[in-house]
Chains A and B, each alone.
Chain A
Amino acid sequence: MSHHHHHLDASSSSPPDVSQPPATVKETVLLEAANVAHFDALGHDFDKHHPDAADVSDRLSFALRRVLVLDEDATSVLDYACGSGQLVSQPPLLLVNSLLTKRYFILIGQVSRALAPYVAQLVGVDISPRMVEVYNARANTQGLEPHEMRAVGSLAELQQQRFDVAVVRFSFSLLSNDYFI
């Protein structure tokens, strides 16, 4: 990974977006802290926190399977800002709850949204240590080995590993602007 300092791109002719004021280094640090705090606090509630996202996630899963060439025996996927893994994998605990509460639509949603069965390896990355924990616990609960599904705290931990696909689901908007020094 190259070490470089961030600077305003002199070659860029587009003016900064005035509706999103330049983020200072301080604001950027606050953003990161707010995100870690938010997702650490959610823990297992991440899944309950996003119930209305089920339909959108299903559609995304279908779109990804249409656009990407996925091989269950070969494809490695990097899942950036992976959260709890809810978006990529079937959560058995939720399925049980769903049956008990007769919320069958969740059952259907969770299964169809899962990407895990279509790829050989899923590696999640998340800055929230709690999300990494939940992601790994989910993989374990589903009987998946770490080489099939695991999460780590930073890209740097992946060292020389390279991936067929990198996905970023609904996390780009969390990232800071480029307009800081």
Chain B
Amino acid sequence: MAYHHFASVKDVTRELVAYLKPRGTLAVADILRLEADEGEPPIMAKYEYMVAHTRGFTEEEMRGVFEGAGLENVAFERFASAKKEGRDVQFFLATGTKPTSEL
């Protein structure tokens, strides 16, 4: 790399796609950003010093990042929910396939 930094979501997605075979799949699981939570402190506020996306991600954000990196057949599902300090936390799994032909 030209210079060293803690990479962004967009950069890492592109990098990981580069390491996939054609027709390979990228799978990302993380915390779902909930509209109902917008008035509340971020769900990962305690880890603000090390977590950039303290509210998680929306489906739209993830689809944007995946499609922006050239992935196809992008799918998004909620695979689990949990309680954290009395609040609902939902978890998503986003997947996308690398096209057969290079972009």
Contact = CB atoms under 8 A, between A and B. Distances in A.
Interface of A: 1, 3-6, 19-20, 23, 25, 28-32, 34-35, 38, 52, 55-56, 59-60, 62-64, 67-68, 78, 80, 127, 155-156, 158, 161-178, 180
A34 to B, nearest CB: 4
Q: Which applies to chain B's interface (DSSP): helix, strand, loop or mixed?
A: mixed
B24 A166 contact: yes
Interface of B: 1-2, 5-12, 15-21, 24-31, 38, 42, 44, 49-57, 75, 77, 79-80, 82, 91, 93, 95
Nearest to A161: B19
Contacts of A172: 9, 12, 28, 30, 53, 57
Kindly name the residue among B19, B42, B56, B91 whose own CB sees the greatest number of chain A CB atoms within 10 A: B19
A35 B6 contact: yes
Given A19-B55, A60-B91, A175 B9 contact: yes
Contacts of B17: 166
A18 B12 CA distance: 22
B15 A155 contact: yes
Contacts of A163: 19-21, 24
B29 to A, nearest CB: 5
